[in-house]
Amino acid sequence: MDPSRRCNGCIRTWDLLLTAAPFFTLGGSTSFKLSKALQAMGFRTGLFVSPHIACFRERMQVNGVLVDANEFVDVLREVFGACRELELPATEFEVAFLMAAVFFRRQSCEAVVLEVGLGGEHDATNAVRTSFSIICSVALDHTRILGSTVELICEKKAGIFKPDTPALIGPAVPLAPCLARASLVGAFLSTWAEASVRYADALAYFDVVVEEEGETDKLNTALALLGLCLLATRPPSDTFSVQPFVTKLNHMLLTSRDDALKAKLAEALNSRPPCRWEKHTVVVKDVPVEFVFDMGHNPAAIAALVRRTRAEYGHSSRPLRLVCGMARDKDVAACVASLATIFAESREVYFVKASYWRAMASADLWQLYFEAVPHAVRIERSQPSNGDEMSIATTIDSVVDDIAKDISSGILSVDAVPVVIVCGSGYIMPDAKAAIGIVEARDSFLS
């Protein structure tokens, strides 16, 4: 039995559906923006995300607050008990999703945003009768499971489309597979181009820039707003249960011109989830050093990171440093080659191995780097004498020490604020952030 059917049985048995709450399925940063926008408009909003970064409880939150640790344990016991009773061999992702469903019901959410897992049709989140779906983009990732081409992957992702329900796709999403799926199930499909024209006034009023080939974050911001506008004007055919929500949404987005709401919604739509170009500053030798954390981990995400780095720092004199760790099952060679276009000197680069079984060894990452930049001079950095990998925390300390030495020796000007880009696998992020003093909720085995 596929995951969506297993979870569907659980949800029906427990009556977990919030019949008066609209559900949204989509992916990544756009789900975060959409949840923040709904929260800004006054809706009690549940958000389910996967994977988490530092704490499993990140996966289920209401109005930005993680599920309490004690309630987490209580909900987990309930889900485990039900899975035993119904003889459901649920995976970790399915258990997390079912826990979120229980939690959102307990919290009486008025709207729920679900970030899908690997795919669409057979994803656990597909057990829910959603009110709206967005496919933001399609990249060559998880090809062993989803398919070897973007078209095949898109076919899988389009499985989230529901009968008589609106759906929206981003500009780089293959149209043909989406049209085929929408026609098959009877979904109301809108393309990015169509929605941008239809809701041009709303985009202009909320100061959302439409850039089809621009910066990824701006695209996600526009998709979140366009999705809400689409739902407000073309809700699901069985809209009776969510009609009060749709009416209120239509008024706030398309009728009312409330400056206070505009400011709150703009802040929400421009927000970013953790480790998506997340910035922090630490002081080294009286010089503020900027750290940027971005868990881009496939060629498309790394390419977006490179574009943003060039746009933000390419015309400045600010020196750049790179800390990167990757998983072996990605197209690491393409990722490293892309990074090498802006980090072409090895003294600027620090490769690490995440504490994860699929993580690539730092030596292998260095090998790929020198293949991409054959003229680069090899800089020997100290490693533990027993041959183990240098820890991520020690690596961050080394980056800070190197910057301090460069400032003291005059190599770096005190007027040019250094920037450290920490990117790749999400598994390196908790230790890297902790190393510069960022305190956040963490699972005990990561502490």
The sign one gets for the Cα dihedral 109, 128, 162, 133 is positive
Residue ranges in 206-298 assigned as alpha helix (H): 216-233, 243-250, 259-269
CA 82 to chain centre: 30
Tokens of 125: 């989140």
The sign one gets for the Cα dihedral 376, 382, 384, 386 is positive
**Residue 292: phi, psi to the nearest 5?**
-120, 120
User: Can you list the pairs that 403-407 forms with residues at least 24 positions away whose Cβ atoms lie under 8 Å?
Assistant: 403/284, 403/285, 403/287, 403/289, 403/321, 404/284, 404/285, 406/319, 407/284, 407/285, 407/287
CB 111 within 8 A of CB 242: no
Tokens of 312: 């933000």
User: What 3-state DSSP class applies to 389?
Assistant: coil
**Residue 279: phi, psi to the nearest 5?**
-110, 140
Q: Note down pLDDT in tens along the chain; length 447 residues.
A: 555 565 655 555 555 444 445 677 766 789 999 999 999 999 999 999 988 999 999 999 999 999 999 999 999 999 998 888 888 788 888 899 999 989 998 999 989 999 987 767 777 888 888 888 999 888 766 666 667 788 888 888 888 898 988 999 999 899 999 999 999 999 999 999 999 999 999 999 999 987 655 578 888 999 999 999 999 998 777 655 677 888 899 999 998 888 999 999 999 999 999 999 999 999 887 888 999 999 988 898 899 899 999 989 988 888 899 999 999 988 999 999 999 999 888 788 999 998 888 899 999 999 999 999 988 877 766 555 555 788 899 999 999 998 988 888 888 887 777 899 999 999 999 999 999 999 888 876 544
**pLDDT score recorded for residue 381:** 64
CB 400 within 8 A of CB 266: no
- Which pTM was predicted? 0.90
